[in-house]
Amino acid sequence: MKTLVLANQKGGVGKSAVATLLAHYFRKLGHRVLAIDLDHQGNFSDPLRKSQRVAVAEVPASALLTQASPLITGGDFVLVAANQALSGLERQPTLHNDFANHLRAFLKAMDSRFDVCLIDTNPNPDIRMIAALVSADCVLSPIQLNQEALDGVHALLNHPRVGVRKIKAMLNQKLHLIGLLLVMVEATPFQRENFSQLVQKFNPILIPCGPKPGQYASMPRRSAVAEAQAEGLVLWEMKKTAARDAWREIELAMAVIAAAVLAESPSQTTPITPINGADHDPVAG
């Protein structure tokens, strides 16, 4: 089983929508999927529940950290849903090591049952994110093209508790940074400028998605994506033309990310040291 963590230390970036799309996409490919929602807000849990395509585990997500050997229901598409108790785990520092060890043991026990595990995390850098990252194979960070997101890339890499560099060096050497997924992209001058800055500073951790320089994995801002998330629909199955058009714009990025997750060993580990990149095309109109 390959485990992918979606992480961003800023909320409201569409991270849960990306997790939902990926969960349905892996199922579309025929893989057995375990979905874990470690964000007490439940924005990953709700659309999966509404889709009526998942078996919801009897135990909540907090149990994966607080219990030694939690049992979950059978099935090829299972959700361990968020619950409010998740928000209190950070306030129990003497149990943090136990929490991380419990989650790691649970994921190991699920190794033969599922092909892919997707873990959506809360935006706060607390024990939930640490526990997920120390047991994961891959991490993906959806970001918007605004200044706050650009500043947040530094925290993703260098945060003293949950920075990818520290986790990889000290706690989980197998952790592979797939990269930054640009979300809610619009062809505006403001976003073009921020895109240019992002490429210059963090070109090595953008996700190539096409043969030409400057083509990176992205998701445009489309109302159909928000509608699918709110109503628990699968984007590419919606009858609206706008939804099918949105999926055509997103599918390549999903395919590239899925391939990176499923790779036995990435052919080239993504560097995580920002460098000054060459000139690239800005966000296309």
What CATH number does residue 157 fall under?
3.40.50.300
Between these two residues, 147 and 161, which has the higher pLDDT value?
161
Question: What single-letter amino acid sits at 164?
Answer: V
In a domain, 15, yes or no: yes
Quote the CA–CA distance of 133 and 145 in Å, as a whole number: 24
Domain boundaries, position 107: 2-262
> Which pTM does this prediction carry?
0.89
In a domain, 282, yes or no: no
**146 and 184 Cβ atoms separated by less than 8 Å:** no
pLDDT-based confidence at residue 282 (cuts at 50, 70, 90): very low
Reported as a single tens digit per residue, the pLDDT across 214-230 is 788 988 889 999 999 99
In the chain, which residue ranges form alpha helices assigned H by DSSP? 15-28, 45-51, 63-66, 96-109, 127-135, 147-158, 164-166, 189-202, 223-231, 241-262
Whether 169 shows a pLDDT value over 60: the answer reads yes
Between these two residues, 140 and 189, which has the higher pLDDT value?
140
Whether 33 shows a pLDDT value over 90: the answer reads yes
Tell me the pLDDT of the chain averaged across its residues: 88
CA nearest to 50, candidates 227, 187, 204: 227
Instruction: List Cα–Cα distances, 3 to 13, 38, 111, 215, 232, in angstroms.
Output: 21, 14, 9, 26, 23
Q: Identify any residues that bridge with 285 across adjacent strands, giving them in sequence order.
A: none
Question: In the chain, pLDDT over 90 holds for what percent of residues?
Answer: 67
Reported as a single tens digit per residue, the pLDDT across 87-116 is 999 999 999 999 999 999 999 999 999 999
Quote the CA–CA distance of 217 and 200 in Å, as a whole number: 16
Q: By CB neighbour count within 10 A (0-12 exposed, 13-18 middle, 19+ buried), where does 276 fall?
A: exposed
pLDDT-based confidence at residue 144 (cuts at 50, 70, 90): confident
**Beta-strand pair 33-37/2-6:** unpaired
pLDDT for 285 equals 44
Identify the top-confidence range among 140-144, 167-171, 182-186, 189-193: 167-171
In a domain, 267, yes or no: no
**87 and 40 Cβ atoms separated by less than 8 Å:** yes
In a domain, 284, yes or no: no
In a domain, 61, yes or no: yes
In a domain, 171, yes or no: yes
Q: In total, how many domains does the chain have? A: 1
Question: In the chain, pLDDT over 70 holds for what percent of residues?
Answer: 91
Between these two residues, 202 and 258, which has the higher pLDDT value?
258
In a domain, 192, yes or no: yes
